[in-house]
Structure formats: C-alpha cells, structure tokens
Amino acid sequence: MTGQQLKNSILQMAVQGKLVPQDPNDEPASVLLARIRAEKEQLIKEGKIKKEKNPSIIFRGADNLPYEKIGKNEPVCIADEVPFDIPDTWEWVRLSKIVYNRGQMAPANDFCYIDIGSIDNKHQKLSDAENIIAIDKVPSRARKIVDIGDILYSTVRPYLHNMCIVDRPFSHQPIASTGFAALTCHTGFYNEFLFYYLMSPDFDAYANDTDNAKGVAYPAINDNKLYQALIPVPPEAEQKRIVEKIKEVLPYVDTYRTSYSESESLNNAFPNRLKKSILQEAVRGKLVPQDPADEPASILLERIRAEKEQLIKAGKIKRDKHESVIFRRDNSHYEKRGSEEICIDEEIPFDLPENWQWVRFSNIAIFENGDRSSKYPVESDYVSDGVPFFGAKDMGEKYMDFDAVRFISEEKFKQLGNGKLKDGDLICLLRGSVGKTRIFKETQKYTTGFICAQMLIIRCLSLEMLDYVYTVINAPYYQTMVEAKITGTAVRQLPAKEVANLLIPIPPAAEQKRILKTITSALLPLKTL
C-alpha cells in the first residue's frame, strides 16, 4: 500500500463510519438534519439564500434500502447510487442540504483575491502571502464571497485536489475565483468532516466521472452537479471524533510514505512480479512440460459436458440456447454457437499446447446470482448465529472469512432462492473490488451460506478443477480480461454474463495437478519475503 493509498484508506474508513466507534448516546444525524432544515428556513426568510424548487428527502424504506423523494415526485430507490453502507445513526443527503454559498459580488474596493495559485494542493492549504488586487485591476472571475471556515473546492480538474478551508482573516475582503465552489456548512455539520469527505476516493470518483466532469483538457464539474453529490452525515458528536482521529493519524502517513518508497522494490515489486509471472506461465502451459501420455483436455471437457447434460435433464440447470464449442481448424480458433460459426483468433490471448483447449467459463461452471427479490435479507433479519450471510468484507486471503460475518436465520434462508452456497463454490465480487474471487469452504458448523447482491457464485462442474480454476482467476491475463469488462466509473461493476463469457485455458487433468504442485513449491519461498 502506497502512502496515498494509506491516506485514501484512512479517509474512506472515516467517511464510512469505520474509523471510530459509534456511541449509542450520540444524538442521531436525523436530529441534526432537522436543525439544519430549520436554519435553512431562517436564512431563506432573511433573503440570504434561495428556496430550493425541488427539495430532496432521502430515507430508508421498509426494505432497508435508500429512497429519495424529489419535490412532489414519487420516491425512487437510489441503492445503485449510494456508494457504501453507513451506520444506522447516520443519514445520506445531497450536498445542497448541508451547505450553502454566500453569493457573488463585484468588488467595490481593493480586495484579497483567492485563485487556484493561492492554494498549495499538496497540503490543501492557503498560501501565507496575500494577493491584494487594486479595484482598477479586478479580474473578471473575482466574484465569489467567502469567509473564515468556508471550503473552497476547485471545480476544474477536481482530481488535482485544489481545495482548502479558509482558516485565517485577511487584511482586505477576500474574494474567490468563480473556478471554485465556495461551501459554507450549516451549523452542526463540521466543515473539516466535509473537507475530508471531498478528498475521499468515493467523492473523487463522483467528481471525476465523465458524466459529471465535462471537458477533455480541463474537465470541470459544475456547481449543480457538485451540489447533487451524496454526502454521508454522521451524528454531530461523531463528526468531531472522526476529525480528531484523522488529524491524529495523518501525520504518520508521510513517515509511512517514505518507508514504503524505500522498501517497495524489495518487499513488493519482486515477489509480486514473480508470482504473477509464475501464474501467467502456468496457464500458458509453460510452467511444466507436457506429457504425451496425458489424457487430452478434450476428453476432460467431454466428461464435464456429460455432467452438465445430467444436470439439465434433472432440471437443476437450464440449457444454454447458444452453447459455445471452441475448436481449431487451419491453425485458427473457431467458435460455434448454435448454427453460427466464427473465427475468434483476435479474441484468443495466447497460444496453448496441442493437448490443451480454450473454453468459455460457462462451459465448465454454473453461474448463479444471489436472490434479489423482496425476500432479500435486511438488517432486521440478522441473528446472532445461523446461516452465514457473506458480504465483500468477508473475503479473506483465499477463502471466505467467518470471523465477522453476519447471520440470517434458517427460516429466512429457506425463503430465499438463488445465492445459496455449496462447498467449493467460488464467490466473485461484481461491484467495488470487481473480479475479486474467493472460495467458500464449508466448516463442521457451517455447511452453507448466502451471498449478498453484489456477488456471483461460480460453481465448477468438476470440483477436481477448483484449485486450477482459482489459479487461472489470479493470473494476469484473466485480471486484464476482467478489467476490460468493467462498466461504470463512480461505481465499478462487472456484469455476471461477462464473467461467464471469459476464455479459460484448460490443460489435461494430469497436467493440472503438476501445475498446482509446481506453483506451491515455487511460491512457498515468497511468503518469507
């Protein structure tokens, strides 16, 4: 983890409610928001801000999902827009609900001008030097009224983090460039908490999304888009604790950054590159020699097809209307789907030994999404012990982790459809850290489990192939293919159908065993590095 990644991780934990513990005695955020609404109404009456035409109200529905009502419109579910879960005492709001701006004016006298050059974007601080502008030399962009405590956020190239809190008085009235959004927090919402959220990875993703930041050379997010951003609101007391903790730990980031830079090449670069190289050579058929006595992969695939046919006949899975068959002809690769036959040489990432074979992932595994119906578990369904209900946080180093897993009752589990786990199932994450895959290994106590809506079950038709398939999933070529199939920027997503369509290299069964044995021997010394 780089120094920047560490900082991002700290900020992300902070804004998700994971950096400091929640206090049940804290006044919930809903009460704070009620006070802010009252303050906003007062400012409207005083003519200091304008009344919103179509105000937003965000709330949790009976299904525990977030909904938003805009103006007089019917509420709509915004679960796909919400970037992460927050504690029960927190609330989601649009940025416009907790900030306002002081307006604009043309300077009438000499003033202190704050433009992009006034900010040290390495430390997000205002320059100590004042840029005093004479009244007869007023720049056309010098218009935004600011005061101590306001946040200045550059809307041009937001990824540069040209932002700061106005933290000191000036010798002349400060006026900021229109290239900034000037954000004044309502009472009870800490400007420093908002400041750290604006620096967090999730907000970065929103601000720099091509749907929000327009332009090529100088992409910019306009104020309207900025004010539409979703902001997590903790209780006021927790905001203070979060800010204090961030200030406590961030000084150590620079120290870590230096240490990391010095040790990266020794402790990370070489072992990681070597591991990737070993896995890549393994799935290309170059790690171990081929044995002409091995039963070819085509025979193994015939057995798998027969197993699949039995499952179809038993009504356990549906027949693929356009099942893929990949074969070689004239030194080229062809694929037959139904009656259609096409050359797929451009799609093949590398050549394989003669006794290997390319297949679509769907040819060797069953793919199953979780139950996304109205029966999907909500917080009220959680119990102290029962059937494990796995989320992204439960993905361990290789296997699913039971240490902090949530549980649902047996009764609730029986109500659910798809998404029930069997021993040896691969679990692939479809949102967030997309493509991340771990193995469900049953224990004496827990023989099954249930996946969250962001996950996909990949069930190998032959469990003997499980460890080899897991090796493929961790090989660089596979990760590259997955990355190419990701959609979205603010919220990265991997369509399940795209996973099923990925190309998998299949060696003979005997060679798979030799590959796995060699990988284990080769990687063992790396664990000590």
On the CB side of 310, CA atoms within 13 Å amount to 7
pLDDT band at 189 (very low <50, low <70, confident <90, very high): very high
Q: Which H or E run includes 260?
A: helix 251-264
- Decide if 322 contacts 316 (C-beta within 8 A): no
The Cα 177–Cα 486 span in angstroms is: 37
Give the C-alpha separation, 144 to 471, whole Å: 56
**Mean pLDDT across the chain, nearest whole number?**
91
Residue 518: the pLDDT is 94
CA distance 228 to 207: 11
Instruction: Tell me what percent of the residues of the chain surpass a pLDDT of 90.
Output: 72
**Which pLDDT belongs to residue 239?**
96
pLDDT at 442 over 90: yes
Q: Residues near 35 by Cβ (< 8 Å), separated by ≥ 6?
A: 187, 188
Q: Domains of the chain: which residue ranges?
A: 291-509
Residue pair 450/388 in contact (Cβ under 8 Å)? The answer is yes
pLDDT, average across residues 226-235: 95
pLDDT at 269: 63
Q: Rounded CA gap, 259 and 210, in Å?
A: 35
Report the length, in residues, of the chain: 529
Say how far residue 440 (Cα) sits from the centre of its chain: 22
Q: What is the CA radius of gyration of the chain?
A: 28
Lowest mean pLDDT among 138-142, 320-324, 411-415, 419-423: 320-324
Predicted TM-score (pTM) of the model is 0.52
pLDDT digits (tens, 9 = 90+) for 320-340: 777 889 999 888 999 998 888
Cα–Cα distance for residue pair 495/497, rounded to 1 Å: 5
Residue 213: alpha-carbon gap to chain centroid: 19
Spatial separation of the C-alpha atoms in residues 192 and 235, rounded to whole Å: 14
DSSP structure string for 176-212: EETTEEEEEEPTTS-HHHHHHHHTSHHHHHHHHSTTT
Residue 266: predicted pLDDT: 57
Domain 291-509 has CATH 3.40.5.50: no
**Can you give the pLDDT at residue 53?**
85
Residue 119, strand partner residues: 126
Looking at residue 268, its pLDDT comes to 57
What digits encode the pLDDT tens for the residues 263-310?
Answer: 665 555 667 778 889 999 999 999 999 999 999 999 999 999 999 889
Tell me if 502 sits within 8 A of 360, measured CB to CB. yes
Encode pLDDT of 31-65 as tens digits: 999 999 999 999 999 988 888 888 899 998 888 89
* φ/ψ of residue 66, rounded to 5: -80, 135
For residue 451 the two structure tokens come to: 């996946």
How far, in Å, CA of 164 to CA of 84, rounded? 25
Which residue do the tokens 């021993």 mark? 423
Q: What percent of the chain has pLDDT over 70?
A: 98
Please check the confidence at residue 400 and state whether its pLDDT lies above 60.
yes
